[in-house]
């Protein structure tokens, strides 16, 4: 049997396999939850439908998200297992550019996982990691999962919270608390995507670096300009455009018949 490392050089979907390997490795290291592997599979399915490229309408959401984070008085980035495994460096860079706090917040909470994620973030350059152990001493009302536990110096007092790979209940609860919630989720139909103030419908692998680039570009903009970007942003439109994009893409593919397997069939 061919070793995975060899397959990675020749496989047509090598990048996708590399990401899977990274998640499996981090599952074994106690960073990613077992359910995180399943959640990634759901994400991959939507990425296939989207075309594995950032959609035009998503760039609008990325711009609005950068503008919201740069305008925020107290922005916080919520980090879970999958995002720590996949984009730790970009999370730390984003925190630096937008002057945001980083907080570990898990659906499947355990002190071991919190510490493992903290170590990864620190290795990526984070100087402060909130929400670990006793530090997560506050609770978000109306959330029954472990995600309700937050740091009083972090998510509890934040005005803007970035939540990559979130669940719908907490997104809704954070909105009810008056916070601006920025979600990153490949599924435009998920409750998180629907409830967030700004939904970046994209793979965290692409969305995080794009968000860092946008924040770097915009960090010296006038506050007035940043406000204008945010006030003109319409999340309903972004969600509708993503669904239209999938719909159109599938219709075109259905008309053409086979697409990606064409070469294989003739060779």
Residues lying near ligand PTJ in the complex (CB under 6 A): 33, 35-36, 39-40, 42-43, 46, 80-82, 106-108, 165, 167, 184-187, 190, 203-205
Identify any residues that bridge with 198 across adjacent strands, giving them in sequence order. 182
- Least CB distance to ligand PTJ at residue 151 (A): 15
CB of 192 or CB of 241, closer to ligand PTJ = 192
CB of 85 or CB of 226, closer to ligand PTJ = 85
Rounded to 5 degrees, what are φ and ψ at 75?
-80, 140
CA dist 161 and 98 (Å) reads: 12
CA dist 174 and 155 (Å) reads: 9
CB of 20 or CB of 157, closer to ligand PTJ = 20
- Closest residue to ligand PTJ: CB criterion: 43
CB of 40 or CB of 60, closer to ligand PTJ = 40
CB of 130 or CB of 226, closer to ligand PTJ = 130
Identify any residues that bridge with 184 across adjacent strands, giving them in sequence order. 164, 200
C-beta atoms surrounding 131 within 10 Å: 28
- Least CB distance to ligand PTJ at residue 47 (A): 7
- Least CB distance to ligand PTJ at residue 238 (A): 15
CB of 33 or CB of 180, closer to ligand PTJ = 33
Q: Which tokens hold the place of 71?
A: 């305008």
- Least CB distance to ligand PTJ at residue 264 (A): 26
CB of 13 or CB of 225, closer to ligand PTJ = 13
């Amino acid at each position: 049997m061919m070793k995975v490392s060899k397959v990675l050089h020749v496989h047509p979907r090598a990048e996708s396999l590399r990401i899977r390997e990274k998640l499996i490795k981090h599952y074994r290291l106690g960073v990613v939850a077992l359910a995180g592997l399943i959640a990634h599979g759901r994400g991959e399915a939507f990425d296939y439908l989207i075309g594995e490229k950032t959609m035009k309408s998503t760039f609008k959401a990325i711009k609005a998200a950068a503008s919201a984070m740069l305008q925020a008085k107290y922005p916080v980035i919520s980090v879970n297992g999958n995002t720590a495994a996949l984009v730790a460096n970009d999370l730390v860079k984003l925190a630096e550019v937008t002057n945001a706090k980083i907080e570990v917040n898990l659906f499947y909470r355990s002190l071991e996982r919190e510490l493992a994620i903290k170590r990864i973030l620190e290795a990526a350059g984070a100087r402060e990691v909130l929400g670990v152990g006793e530090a997560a001493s506050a609770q978000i009302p109306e959330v029954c999962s472990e995600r309700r536990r937050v740091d009083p110096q972090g998510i509890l007092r934040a005005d803007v919270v970035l939540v990559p790979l979130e669940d719908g209940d907490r997104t809704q609860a954070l909105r009810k608390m008056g916070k601006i919630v920025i979600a990153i989720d490949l599924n435009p139909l998920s409750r998180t995507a629907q409830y967030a103030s700004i939904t970046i419908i994209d793979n965290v692998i692409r969305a995080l670096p794009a968000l860092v680039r946008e924040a770097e570009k915009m960090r010296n903009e006038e506050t007035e300009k940043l406000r204008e970007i945010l006030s003109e942003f319409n999340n309903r439109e972004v969600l509708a455009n993503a669904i239209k994009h999938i719909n159109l893409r599938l219709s075109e593919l259905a008309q053409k018949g086979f697409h990606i397997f064409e070469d294989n069939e003739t060779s």
